[in-house]
Structure 1
């Protein structure tokens, strides 16, 4: 008996007098079920069902930064680097979903924001790790102690899905259910600074008595099934976007690369960033008058954003400075909120497709050295609308 995530597509409605019911797609039903292996054949025979191994997930662990977490006058460097400090837009009217470790709802950075919290982990709302609070602060946090930390300070409503428990762990079922929830709640943007834990799945299988070789092989099967599930969900979100609300999904590329090692290496963007239709984000830091790719940042991202020495909100009411692609991802989510409002201001319907296109088209390459490869920064530094 193993745990699986089951996605059941809704049956098509019978057309009414005008046949309009067909134009309103329904979200899929997503459940987590414990099934024997023989039950999988029955699932495979049903064209309206997709399934995946319920795989462990974890936050993309940030790196401690030597920079002090003290309030400074003006905007944090990441806010200025993406041009948010010069943008006339604030993200007003845009709903952002943050799927992470929860949030410190009492933090002054979130004063005036309607926070809709939902716990998918069983550990209760709130943020013990601080990771979700930090990411949310970068997206829409208000100023703290005179320092600007948030990109889109006009966001008035945020969906806070706790998909990683108090130990920073979760599973793919929690993420898939939260994505469905975000769609139902009409989120415009979904931000995910987390990863699917392939080593954790191998470890779980070996703890059950598997030898390392078959455990690794089985973990690859599980990883592949989760990639297919994500691709299926993203395709369904795209279908919803053609007729109604569908969120733009942004995810951190991952921190597994080691460019500064004795034998340097780079690893490609991991799940969920690697799924089709997700905007994968690489991390960059300051380098004199230009920017450099962070040594830990995974490659094959769509765009890059500030992710080194990022100061943002932290549980307890203060600020904290850390680094990671987890910190770069919310910069892109915040800029996406600005673009969403900017398009609406021009009379263009904001959508995952239209905002995603602007994010890619407006990214800047000229702020990097000429020898920085595209595989490391994608289209370049994400840029707010002027």
Structure 2
């Protein structure tokens, strides 16, 4: 058996809290009721017998090896001068420029490489930063800053880059450092974001399956055994993120709801081949996002975008905030995901105004059903676009 492999354990905890009525569980002279389920995340090395014991434990929601996570890196990038005054093409394509909603009173979480808090696009925003890496707190890569700018960046020098540009509170979880990240880190960060009141969680990262296979081979395994073990770990991690999503949804029954939006990945190379969505976006209950590009006949699927997505958004030549100030143009499903997260914030604001709370199931349904095929070029396959290009609420 391989030594030194760490496992993630998700455990559920039911907690009794005092209630003032008689509809709960009576304990002596007092009555109690079940509080929202609590989820504990633990990372540790386990023996074969310990793993078997945990699998039989009814409180174990998921058990999976800790797999490496990597940035869904842009397929191309370039610095740009100050764009023409107005909105970026992505803002217009999703209808954010004509929506009466702006993200007011909504909290979003961006789990990425951090943020440049000094960028003018984030002036006036309460940035709650938590560093899950061993690197410095702020963004050293630029990816997280770019994604955050698309979600909630304010206008800079007359250019609109943010879909939900009046968000005033954002949770910035730095989960990817110079050495990448891991699935336990994301599990802990999701739990943190939910507990901090996020209505929308945006993630542009994915499991590094080839990297895990290489790691196992380096430990002395033959390629056949390494691939088999890695596939089992991959499957277990899909279940992990499915269980995490279930926890998020269960929490929404008792408090403000939360939805998770994730990038599908950039491993496809159309028309030669297409690759299916990878975890965490592959988890049930996580909204998987594909990328679109502009073309003469309408929007079409980007050559790199993975399939089996739920919805799609602009992901090619997306202009947003750059570390150190100014703008950069990036392409990838990482750039499409914050467009969907920003539109989700607009739908959440609408729901909050109408009902006084955000229900995650209603929000997810509204968001996915907003997709439209009207602006897409003909011949697009459903697996590649889901319900179509996401659209902001117009009333």
Alignment of 1:16-35 (within 5 A): 16=19, 18=21, 19=24, 22-35=33-46
Comparing 36-45 and 313-322, the one that deviates more: 36-45
Change (3 A) 1:15 1:258: same
Instruction: Please state if 1:41 is matched with 2:52.
Output: yes
The alpha-carbon deviation at position 221 of structure 1 amounts to: 1.0
Counterpart among 11, 35, 40 of residue 14 in structure 2: 11
The alpha-carbon deviation at position 351 of structure 1 amounts to: 2.1
Instruction: Please state if 1:79 is matched with 2:91.
Output: yes
Q: Distance in 2 between matches of 1:163 and 1:67?
A: 25
1:53 paired residue number: 65
2:155 paired residue number: 143
TM-score w.r.t. length of structure 1: 0.95
Counterpart among 287, 293, 296 of residue 295 in structure 2: 287
1:276 paired residue number: 284
The alpha-carbon deviation at position 16 of structure 1 amounts to: 4.6
TM-score w.r.t. length of structure 2: 0.93
Unaligned runs of 5+ in 2: 25-30
| Structure 1 residue matching 2:82: 3-state secondary structure | coil
Change (3 A) 1:258 1:4: same
Change (3 A) 1:124 1:65: closer
The alpha-carbon deviation at position 21 of structure 1 amounts to: 5.2
Counterpart among 87, 91, 94 of residue 103 in structure 2: 91
How many pairs are equivalent? Answer: 382
CA contact (8 A) 1:67 1:309 kept: no
Q: Distance in 1 between matches of 2:17 and 2:389?
A: 47
**CA RMSD of superposed structures (Å):** 1.6
Q: For residues 158-210 of structure 1, what are the alpha-carbon distances to aligned partners after superposition, in whole Å with 9 as ceiling and x for unaligned?
A: 0011111134x100000000011011111100000000111111011111111
Instruction: Please state if 1:308 is matched with 2:319.
Output: no
Q: Distance in 1 between matches of 2:257 and 2:194?
A: 6
The alpha-carbon deviation at position 293 of structure 1 amounts to: 0.6
| Structure 2 residue matching 1:369: 3-state secondary structure | coil
CA contact (8 A) 1:23 1:243 kept: no
Q: Distance in 1 between matches of 2:298 and 2:17?
A: 58
Q: For residues 5-31 of structure 1, what are the alpha-carbon distances to aligned partners after superposition, in whole Å with 9 as ceiling and x for unaligned?
A: 111211342765532853531421112
Change (3 A) 1:4 1:208: same
CA contact (8 A) 1:69 1:321 kept: no
1:255 paired residue number: 266
Counterpart among 362, 365, 375 of residue 357 in structure 1: 365
Q: For residues 110-156 of structure 1, what are the alpha-carbon distances to aligned partners after superposition, in whole Å with 9 as ceiling and x for unaligned?
A: 00000011111222311111110000000000112221110000100
2:221 paired residue number: 210
Q: For residues 273-296 of structure 1, what are the alpha-carbon distances to aligned partners after superposition, in whole Å with 9 as ceiling and x for unaligned?
A: 111011111000111251011000
2:208 paired residue number: 197
Q: Distance in 2 between matches of 1:94 and 1:46?
A: 38
CA contact (8 A) 2:79 2:327 kept: no
Alignment of 1:164-243 (within 5 A): 164-167=176-179, 169-243=180-254
| Structure 1 residue matching 2:247: 3-state secondary structure | helix
Q: Distance in 1 between matches of 2:257 and 2:328?
A: 33
CA contact (8 A) 1:101 1:166 kept: no
Q: For residues 41-90 of structure 1, what are the alpha-carbon distances to aligned partners after superposition, in whole Å with 9 as ceiling and x for unaligned?
A: 22112110232101100010102246845322100000000000111110
